[in-house]
């Protein structure tokens, strides 16, 4: 799984939200609402059985869902024309920025812990030792 690319995908979501705020673009809120609509969300869903015993995977699941929830809150505020509320949610140390940072930390932690994990489940071995 190219985790760097998935992180970039989520950072682009932040840029899209900021663009919607400043240019008053129509945002597709369902895309922000569904944590399985992105590459990382689909990967998490597909590999849940393999990695669910690893605490870092559970943290990654929560961080990823939190990111999408925060993004949805901002997208709804933009769509409703509550631009000052949306702007506040995108400020440094805001809900969205905290969720983004949590996702980054959780992703790094999962990468670190999963690279040390040993799986003894036949086909799952390749998933357990991937990078």
Please compute the mean of the pLDDT values over residues 3-28 and round it to a whole number. Answer: 66
Q: 88 pLDDT exceeds 70?
A: yes
Answer whether residue 125 shows pLDDT above 60.
no
Phi then psi for residue 91, to 5 deg, are: -65, 160
pLDDT band at 121 (very low <50, low <70, confident <90, very high): very low
What CATH number is given to the structural domain containing 62? 1.20.120
Given a cut of 90, whether residue 62 has pLDDT beyond it is yes
Length of the chain (residues): 131
Domain count, the chain: 1
Percent of residues, the chain, with pLDDT higher than 90: 29
Please name the residues in contact with 34: beta carbons below 8 A apart, sequence gap of 6 or more.
41, 68
- The CA-atom distances, in angstroms, between 104 and each of 12, 57, 60, 99 are 14, 13, 9, 9
The secondary structure of 112-124 as a DSSP string is HHHHH----STTH
- Residues of the domain holding 26: 3-128
């Amino acid at each position: 799984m190219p985790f760097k690319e998935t992180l970039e995908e989520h950072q682009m979501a932040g840029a899209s939200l900021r663009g919607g705020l400043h240019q008053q673009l129509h945002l597709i809120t369902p895309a922000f609402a569904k944590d399985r609509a992105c590459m990382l969300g689909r990967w998490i869903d597909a590999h849940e059985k393999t990695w669910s015993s690893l605490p870092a995977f559970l943290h990654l699941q929560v961080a990823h869902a939190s990111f999408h929830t925060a993004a949805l809150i901002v997208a709804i505020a933009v769509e409703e024309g509550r631009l000052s509320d949306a702007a506040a949610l995108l400020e440094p140390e805001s809900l969205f920025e905290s969720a983004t940072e949590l996702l980054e930390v959780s992703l790094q932690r999962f990468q670190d812990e999963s690279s040390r994990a040993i799986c003894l489940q036949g086909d799952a071995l390749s998933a357990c030792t991937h990078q």
